[in-house]
Amino acid sequence: MSDYWVLLGIALVVVGFALKFNPLLVVAVAAIATGLLGGLNPLAVVAALGKAFNDNRYVSIVWIVLPVIGLLERYGLQQRARAAIERMRGATVGRLLIAYLAFRQILAALGLTSVAGHAQTVRPLVAPMAEAAALKTHGPLDESSIERVKAMAAATDNVGLFFGEDIFVAIASILLIQGVMSGYGIALTPLQISVWAIPTAVCAFVIHAARLMLFDSRLGRARR
């Protein structure tokens, strides 16, 4: 089947990412290869790439928060976030991140997805707080443990966002489900769909919260 050749682009992406080539280069090469194998002429491929890039500029808007975050870091915001945790009794990484998970899931379920995020809240507040909480309860940690604490802060933001937002009726993915289903003559209201996001949201909270507690206790054992 000659059709299967278009899948070569996927293989290029997997191999390129695995070999740690520059991802931008990998993606551009995969896009051009896929387009050519799919029977488009080279100029049409470049044009398709350009159109999609232009249509998706809104994805990069979030970087306009960097001047504010950078400015606050200049005046000691991260140090302040650490100090606040150090003074708080009973603050541990596990408890702190579970609280953030709940906060993120609830806000996302209310449709407030841009309120928090990696640039807005994780880098300036959540990651330094988590690091401070880990150092406070477990004493000095090696570099790889601190890396894992920060990575877990970012992971918690993602889990909270992904498995909270679909409970909100007007989010893009619910509207997409409704739209695609109606294409098959299946009429669903957004509310009918979004209530079925609740069981998964509960599972996500339970699983990730349990992992955070486990992570916290293992961090204690891995201490130097």
Partner 1 sequence: MITLTWLYVLAGAVFAAFALTSAIDRTNAKRFGNAAFWGLLAISFFFGDALGDLGNGVLVLVMVGIAGFHLLGRGNPPTTDLAEREILSERLGNRLFLPALVIPVTAFAGTLLFNYTPLTDAGLIEPRWVTLILLGIGVLIALGVCMAWLKPPVLAPIEEGRRLMDSIGWAALLPQMLAALGAVFALAGVGEVIGGIAGSVIPQGSVFLAVLVYALGMALFTMIMGNAFAAFPVMLAAIGVPILIVADGANPAVIGAVGMLAGFCGTLMTPMAANFNIVPAALLELKDQYGVIRAQVGTAIPLLACNIAILYFASFL
Nearest partner of 52 among 27, 22, 33, judged by Cα: 27
Q: How far is the CB of 221 from partner 1 (least distance, A)?
A: 17
Under the criterion CB under 8 A, does residue 203 sit at the interface with partner 1?
A: yes
**First and final CA of the chain: distance in angstroms?**
57
Under the criterion CB under 8 A, does residue 62 sit at the interface with partner 1?
A: yes
Stretch of 17-25, 88-96, 132-140, 216-224 contacting partner 1, by CB under 8 A: 17-25
Nearest partner of 149 among 201, 85, 87, judged by Cα: 85
| Binding residue (CB under 8 A) for partner 1 from 88, 95, 102, 113 | 113
Residue 109: C-alpha distances to residues 61, 176, 199, 205 (Å): 23, 17, 13, 13
Tell me, residue by residue from 143 to 172, as one string, x for binding to partner 1 by CB under 8 A and - for no binding: ----xx-xxxxxx-xxx--xx--x-----x
Under the criterion CB under 8 A, does residue 176 sit at the interface with partner 1?
A: yes
Angle between helices 8-18 and 23-37 (to 10 degrees): 170
| Binding residue (CB under 8 A) for partner 1 from 200, 217, 218, 222 | 200
Under the criterion CB under 8 A, does residue 52 sit at the interface with partner 1?
A: yes
| Binding residue (CB under 8 A) for partner 1 from 15, 41, 79, 99 | 79
Q: How far is the CB of 86 from partner 1 (least distance, A)?
A: 12
| Binding residue (CB under 8 A) for partner 1 from 207, 217, 218, 222 | 207
Angstrom distance (rounded) from CA 35 to CA 54: 18
Tokens 């050749």 locate to: 5
Under the criterion CB under 8 A, does residue 115 sit at the interface with partner 1?
A: yes
Supply φ then ψ for residue 19, to 5 degrees: -85, 0
Under the criterion CB under 8 A, does residue 71 sit at the interface with partner 1?
A: yes
Under the criterion CB under 8 A, does residue 188 sit at the interface with partner 1?
A: yes
| Binding residue (CB under 8 A) for partner 1 from 90, 199, 221, 224 | 199
Sign of CA dihedral 86, 90, 93, 98: negative
Under the criterion CB under 8 A, does residue 53 sit at the interface with partner 1?
A: yes
* Residues 105/158, Cβ–Cβ less than 8 Å: no
